[in-house]
Structure 1
Amino acid sequence: MSWCGPEATDELLREFFRTRSSARNRMMKNWGVIGGIAAAMAVGVYVLWGPSADRKKRRRGMVPGLMNLGNTCFLNALLQGLATCPSLISWLQDFTTNSSSCLFGMECGQTSEQTDAQTSMQTEMQTDTQTSMQTETQTNSRVSKTLLQLLAALSSPDPGEDDVLDAGCLLEALRLHRWHISSFEEQDAHELFHVLTSTLEEERERQPRVAHLFDMETLEKSAEASENPASCWSRGPLHPVPSLWRTQHPFHGRLTSYMACKRCERQSPVRYDSFESLSLSFPAVQWGRPVTLDQCLQHFISSETIKEVECENCTEKQAKTEDSRVLESQRTTFVKQLKLGKLPQCLCIHLQRLTWSPEGAPIKRHEYVQFSEYLSMDRYKHSSATQKAGRSKKPTAEEPHDQNGVDPEHHNNNKPLSNGSISSAFLRSGALGPQLDLVHDFR
């Protein structure tokens, strides 16, 4: 048996380490190949089954979202509520379409009436006039067109290009009407609602009151609008044909108010005031019990007692009994009644959760408000028969009424107020009758 020397041992060790290093290098190369294959497979899976441009489109039946441009939650909440009002969308479509057709009819009529005797200077002046009129009309209807585009995209069941909408264009359109609304500051949604309605009313007022003679499409639509046109028995001149876009927006309604003297029972004429939303305060209820919408409406129309009001009828009667001597004006107690004279097509209700304590500190009401599925407005409407019956009945102090005012002379302050803590509920009225269908719930 031969023994290995030191040289042979060193040679064996070097051969062993050399073989191990080559095996390790081959193993690292194999791992590199495996990693490259795995990366290629991952890229292939991402390309074949990964997200595509088509998947960004909104699916059918899904509601798109609204981008928050800073602190524009008030704007997004209002637009989402308005998108559930088909009457408003229909009115905007008619308004924008008819105002555009009026301008188109004027341009076509002027072009067809041109003769060969017109000079080139007259043609240029006419073209400049038409261009300026078109630009002014587009500016005047900027808010209505922008609002229609946003509401149509929010309410359309068909999938759109994007699932997120940017409502900043509406703020830009409002700024053209001199409204300074910052998207980085918290605003009041109720105040923004009145800004929109007043701007729409302003654009409506800028439209011509009667249809143009060359706007044959509008004239024909006006004649065919009613299936049973009423006959005119007057021999006087006929009224001008009303324009279709001159109709009020669906939030426009009218309130009636009248006052009656408790002493002489004389009742003042009924006064009609326009409104776009009803600001309802909370009635006094037992702690822990919910508040219903009917209670808020009943509290809104409850009678209001006003003291120390000058009554001309009582003064005249007193003068007759005192041998026509000059007497001071008689001041008595009046009862003021508020009701709904004309229901809007879409009723907007603003719940006033901000109240004031006797010490003057602001208090927020946290009561839950119950909404029924159907809301009957018969009891809140003004009726001429009820008014005539009320003239023969002397108002008494025993008549129930809520006393929620802080002023001792005015027990019930029912005037709509704007505050910073609000919630709006939109109610859609049916085609027949005063019954309203509930669209939104409120908590």
Structure 2
Amino acid sequence: MPETKRENVLLFATVSVILAVGAFIFWGPLFHQKRRGKVLGLVNLGYTCFLNTLLQALASCPVVLDWLSKHQNSANKKSFIAALQNTLQVLNGKEGSEDPYTPSKLIQSLHGHGWIISPGEQDAHELFLVIVTTLEEEVQQKLPKVCSLSAAVEDGLREIQQHGLQATLLSPKPSSWWQEAKLKGPLPFQGLFASQLQCMSCKYKSAVHYATFYSLSLVLPPRLSVLGTMDEFYTLQELIGHYVTSRVVNDVTCDGCGCRDTAQVKSLNFGKLPRCLCIHIARTIWEGEPLKRDDHIRFPEILVMDPYTYNYIQQTQLSNSKLQVGDQSCTNGLINSSSLTRKRFRHLYQLTAVVVHKGSLFYGHFITYRRGVGKYYNSWFYTSDAEVRETTLHEVMQASAYMLFYTKFTSSASHSVH
């Protein structure tokens, strides 16, 4: 080969390497690995870890995947249901897409419904409420919601204190968009609270009142005093038990004896539990200023919800195997999923995802510990935007949970992706 030609080839190769390195530094790898069957990562489009973490959590829930699959068949291909179902399938390696994946179509679909994901820090639980609202719009005849997640706190946020529960309601603005659809079935997150009043004078019980919920927000009790040890902590069952504790309500007119200003006992429990139980641990407190608590809350892999249901509490005759709220048999997380256990309890839930917020109240990062699907269902993965690695259940159980997702055991439960 002539010397000049050889020099040109070497020069071209050198320039190519420099350009490739420069492109990698500024834009990341030019080619993304494609993986099928395992969990994929998500591109952070600028403070979108709150979106990525929630998508990973939803992708781990078999009943959510089943529900989306059934409704997507009759939905518009450009609907939010279709966009969400496709995104979750991709995250589970079903579509063989690029890794990490960019959820641009899903964001565009949210924009089409009037939701605006503004730049800056957002909250994963607020986004969960947005997704639930949007899914409802597409299975029911409803007006859409138009609201900026960041502006919601200032413009449309209302906080309701009820039985220690802090519920967040977004007050959206109407738009011209309208969609009509028939309700085919409840969302997998939908459950019913059951509340009842009983007069302390005549013992008259009012009719049971039912109210819909999609997530359970639990408030942290006062801090535990730790004397030279870090082993003291609350359990998830204690937080749930505190939520359903009966309370005395004063100045109520009794429908039984007709007396005014009577004291009545108000009970609150679960009339109907959802197939996918979303639990939000409200970690924001006020101690002269808003602060975030990072207390470790011990949560089980298998959660028994029977003691907190209306039917269970109403039983007058209980067998020797009665399960008390706070009983160690349901708080140590060692209950197995054998057929014998399933026959003993009607409301058994298995942990599928744990959302964690790292950082301060106003600045931080969301990550998710989640199960795989199909043949990887018994494997756990740590996901942080594009980063995905396999982990252990032991590491998962040490996490400081912000949101927990549990899937209910059923006789026909399927852990595969359709």
Please indicate the TM-score interval, normalised by the length of the shorter structure. Answer: 0.5 to 0.7
Counterpart selection for 2:199 from 221, 236, 261: 261
Q: Give 1:263 deviation, angstroms.
A: 1.4
Q: Which residue of 1 aligns with 2:186?
A: 248
Distance 1:61 1:173, change over 3 A: closer
Given that 2:191 and 2:273 are in contact with CA atoms closer than 8 Å, whether structure 1 keeps it comes out as yes
Q: Which secondary structure state, in structure 2, belongs to the residue aligned with residue 63 of structure 1?
A: coil
Structure 1 counterpart SS, 2:285: strand
Distance apart, 1:314 and its partner CA: 3.5
Note if contact 1:190-1:424 (Cα within 8 Å) is conserved in structure 2. Answer: yes
Choose from 103, 111, 128 the match for 1:175: 111
Partner in structure 1 of residue 89 of structure 2: 152
Contact residue 40 and residue 93 of structure 2 kept, 8 A: no
Identity of aligned residues (%): 36
DSSP-derived class of the 1:66 partner: coil
Which amino acid in the other structure matches residue 190 of structure 1? H
Alignment of 1:108-147 (within 5 A): 137=76, 142-147=79-84
* Aligned: 1:354 with 2:330: no
Task: Give the superposition deviation at 1:178.
Answer: 2.2
- The whole-number CA distance in structure 2 between the counterparts of 1:90 and 1:345 is 11
* Residue matched to 1:370: 298
Partner of 2:263: 333
User: 1:86 & 1:244 partners in 2: Cα distance?
Assistant: 23
Describe the shift of the 1:55–1:72 C-alpha distance in structure 2 as closer, same or farther (beyond 3 A). Answer: closer
Q: Are 1:57 and 2:36 counterparts?
A: no
Letter matched to residue 168 of structure 1: S
User: In 2, distance between residues paired with 1:71 and 1:283?
Assistant: 31
State how far apart, in whole Å, the 1-side matches of 2:133 and 2:89 are: 21
Q: Which of 187, 212, 216 is the matching residue for 1:274?
A: 212
Return the letter of the residue paired with 1:375. Answer: L
**1:75 corresponds to:** 51
Structure 2, unpaired ranges of 5+: 143-180, 227-231, 318-325, 327-360, 363-400
Shift in alpha-carbon separation, 1:71–1:156, aligned structure 2, 3 A: same
Measured after TM superposition, the shift of residue 138 of structure 1 is 5.3
Identify the residue that residue 396 of structure 1 maps to in structure 2: none
Q: 1:431 aligns with which of 397, 410, 417?
A: 410
Aligned-residue offset at 1:332:
1.6
Q: Is 1:165 the equivalent of 2:124?
A: no
CA-CA distance at 1:61 after TM superposition: 4.9
CA apart distance, 1:388: 7.1
Contact 2:202/2:257 (8 A) holds in 1: yes
Match of 2:233 among 276, 290, 296: 290
Aligned to 1:239: none
Task: State the distance in 1 between where 2:261 and 2:253 align.
Answer: 4
In 1, the alpha carbon distance for the partners of 2:136 and 2:236 equals 29
Query: 2:313 and 2:57 mapped to 1: Cα distance?
Result: 35
Contact 1:95 1:244 in 2 (8 A): no
Where 2:195 maps in the other structure, the secondary structure is strand
Kept in 1: contact 2:35–2:98 (CA 8 A): no
- Stretches of structure 1 lacking an aligned partner (at least 5 in a row): 1-31, 101-136, 208-242, 317-329, 391-399, 401-419, 438-443
Q: Residues 248, 315 of structure 1: CA spacing in aligned structure 2 closer, same or farther, 3 A cutoff? A: closer
Offset of 1:168 from its aligned partner?
2.8
Change (3 A) 1:270 1:426: same
Distance 1:311 1:256 in 2: 19
More strand by percentage: 2
Give TM-score, length-normalised by structure 2.
0.59
Contact persistence 1:56–1:162 (CA under 8 A): yes
The offset of 1:37, in angstroms, is 11
Give secondary structure in 2 for the equivalent of 1:313: coil
Output the amino acid matched with 1:264. Answer: C
Residue-by-residue CA offset, 1:114-138 (whole Å, 9 max, x unaligned): xxxxxxxxxxxxxxxxxxxxxxx55
* 2:265 partner SS: strand
Q: Give 2:88's aligned amino acid.
A: L
Cα RMSD for the two superposed structures: 3.7
Residues in 1 aligned to 2:223 and 2:306: alpha-carbon distance in whole angstroms = 24
Residues 205-233 of structure 1 deviation map (CA, whole Å, 9 limit, x = unaligned)? 149xxxxxxxxxxxxxxxxxxxxxxxxxx
How many correspondences in the alignment? Answer: 280
**Which residue of structure 1 aligns with residue 70 of structure 2?**
94
Q: Deviations over 1:90-133 (max 9, x none)?
A: 11111011x25xxxxxxxxxxxxxxxxxxxxxxxxxxxxxxxxx
CA gap 1:315/1:75 in 2 versus in 1, 3 angstroms: same
Q: Deviations over 1:364-389 (max 9, x none)?
A: 22210112121111101111x74375
CA distance in 2 between partners of 1:297 and 1:255 (Å)? 13
Offset at residue 174 of structure 1 (A): 1.7
Q: Distance in 1 between matches of 2:195 and 2:97?
A: 50
Q: SS at 1:200's partner residue?
A: helix
Shift of 1:56: 2.9
